[in-house]
């Protein structure tokens, strides 16, 4: 069997499951290296960028070539395959249409004293988007990170992606241009995150950084958080599939492989109440892996971090899912609407046999930037809200302060904040 197997009905199951889930939290902190890189960029700006890009990416750039020129962008854009261009257009429209439904309307509450209490929203001014350019070079990353910002009303989006000279995935350039990205930079790694966070002569300083990356990029985002906002601390991608005896083993195997080919540290988990299905899926995995171009990556992922879990009762299966809190969850069972009620922790949930996770990755509509490594227990995927700031508006009337002021004074005095109390008292004194 390719997948490790656990019996969810055994007494020590929970302990064994946690040991497997924790294996991927191995990623050693790169903080000590990243801190040095960030300091270098803060001190030396473009000069440090050029040095680090040469050191880490073997990319020879100079002060005039850190950024793509309009001429370069137009030339690269023209090289894109028309079929691919059309697919990006379709994805853009679908993602944008879905995210437009997320817009939050301001509201106002007027209480019995005629006090006006409200929320208003304003977009972040400048957003930086990091797009990987190594083994993972995805135009879908551009769309999923830029579109919610666009819908939120962000006017200034800047993008950085590793590029050797002008050699870059043309689909990334096309997607960026379609999203109205202001500038596209040619660098990657932790130094690019630092440049976005603190600015250089070439890089614009942004207010928030979004987008996935390797361990160094992730560590850099964590390090600059507080000086700028970030989307999330994301780990390797993952999928859990709940399937019953009616499921197609070949389809399940294909979905597990689709996740595994992302990265050697990706995690693909099958949870079922049918042992025969689990056996069939393992057989199908072997057959399909042999035909996969990224067979080494996918095989390594499945053998090291892949898992099949048997549990005879659906309540048990739901408890397992909620404990895993997967980034992606496929409910490949006949009664998926019924068991959906029991799902509390998951990023995106895919319902039924015709809803593979791949559809969500590209153009279903909802965002594919999702919480990983169990963080779906307390967080959600990227949305329009992540690019909006909420402001409270408070207008107290004369009647309001007269009726409520004494309570404020009592609370302030209890907390030994006499100045707070006095700021209300002084307004209650008769002129």
146 with 158: CB under 8 angstroms? no
Q: What is the DSSP string of 124-164?
A: -SEEEEE---SS---HHHHHHHHHHHHHHT--EEEEE---B
Polymer length of the chain: 431
CB atoms under 10 Å from CB of 64, counted, come to 9
Give the ranges where 101-241 is alpha helix by DSSP (H). 139-152, 170-178, 189-198, 215-224
Q: Which residues pair with 228 in a beta bridge?
A: 225
In terms of C-beta distances under 8 Å and separation of at least 24 residues, what long-range contacts does 49-57 make, across chains too? 49/187, 49/191, 49/192, 49/195, 49/200, 49/202, 49/203, 52/187, 52/189, 52/190, 52/191, 53/186, 53/187, 53/188, 53/189, 53/191, 56/189, 56/191, 57/162, 57/164, 57/187, 57/188, 57/189
SS3 56: helix
Q: Residues 399, 403, 409, 411: is their CA dihedral positive or negative? A: negative
Gyration radius from the chain CA atoms: 25
Tokens of 406: 């004494």
3-state secondary structure of 32: helix
Alpha-carbon torsion, ordered 42, 45, 47, 53, to 10 deg: 80
Residues with a known catalytic role: 327-328
Angle (CA) 317-319-323 rounded to 5° is 115
């Amino acid at each position: 069997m390719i997948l490790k197997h656990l019996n969810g009905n055994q007494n020590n199951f929970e302990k064994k499951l946690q040991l497997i889930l924790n294996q991927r939290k191995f990623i050693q902190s790169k903080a000590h290296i990243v801190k040095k890189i960030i300091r270098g960029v803060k001190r030396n700006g473009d000069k440090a960028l050029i040095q680090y890009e040469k050191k880490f990416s073997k990319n020879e750039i100079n002060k005039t070539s850190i950024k793509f020129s309009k001429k370069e962008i137009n030339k690269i854009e023209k090289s894109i395959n028309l079929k691919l261009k059309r697919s990006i257009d379709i994805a853009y429209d679908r993602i944008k249409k879905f995210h437009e439904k997320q817009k939050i309307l301001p509201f106002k509450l007027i209480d019995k004293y005629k006090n006006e209490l409200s929320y208003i929203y304003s977009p972040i001014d400048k957003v930086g988007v990091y797009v990987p350019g190594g083994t993972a070079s995805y135009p879908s990353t551009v769309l999923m990170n830029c579109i919610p910002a666009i819908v939120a009303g962000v006017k200034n989006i800047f993008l950085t992606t590793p590029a050797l000279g002008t050699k870059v995935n043309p689909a990334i350039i096309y997607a960026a241009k379609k999203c109205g990205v202001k500038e596209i930079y040619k660098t990657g790694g932790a130094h690019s995150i630092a440049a976005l966070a603190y600015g250089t002569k070439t890089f614009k300083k942004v207010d928030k950084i979004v987008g996935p990356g390797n361990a160094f990029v992730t560590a850099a985002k964590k390090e600059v958080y507080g000086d700028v906002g970030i989307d999330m601390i994301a780990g390797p991608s993952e999928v859990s599939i709940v399937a019953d005896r009616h499921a197609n083993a070949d389809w399940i195997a294909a979905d597990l492989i689709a996740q595994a080919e992302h990265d050697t540290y990706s995690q693909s988990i099958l949870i079922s109440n049918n042992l025969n299905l689990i056996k069939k899926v393992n057989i199908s995995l072997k057959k399909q892996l042999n035909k996969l171009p990224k067979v080494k990556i996918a095989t390594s992922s499945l053998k090291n971090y892949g898992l099949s879990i048997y549990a005879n009762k659906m309540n048990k299966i739901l408890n397992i899912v909620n404990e895993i809190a997967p980034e992606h969850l496929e409910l490949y069972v006949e009664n998926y609407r019924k068991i959906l009620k029991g799902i509390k922790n998951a990023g995106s949930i895919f319902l039924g046999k015709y809803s593979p996770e791949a559809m969500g990755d590209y153009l279903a509509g909802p965002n594919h930037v999702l919480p990983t490594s169990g963080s779906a227990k307390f967080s959600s995927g990227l949305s329009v809200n992540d690019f909006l700031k909420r402001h409270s508006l408070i207008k107290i009337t004369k009647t309001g302060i007269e009726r409520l002021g004494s309570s404020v004074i009592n609370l302030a005095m209890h907390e030994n904040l006499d100045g707070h109390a006095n700021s209300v008292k002084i307004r209650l004194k008769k002129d």
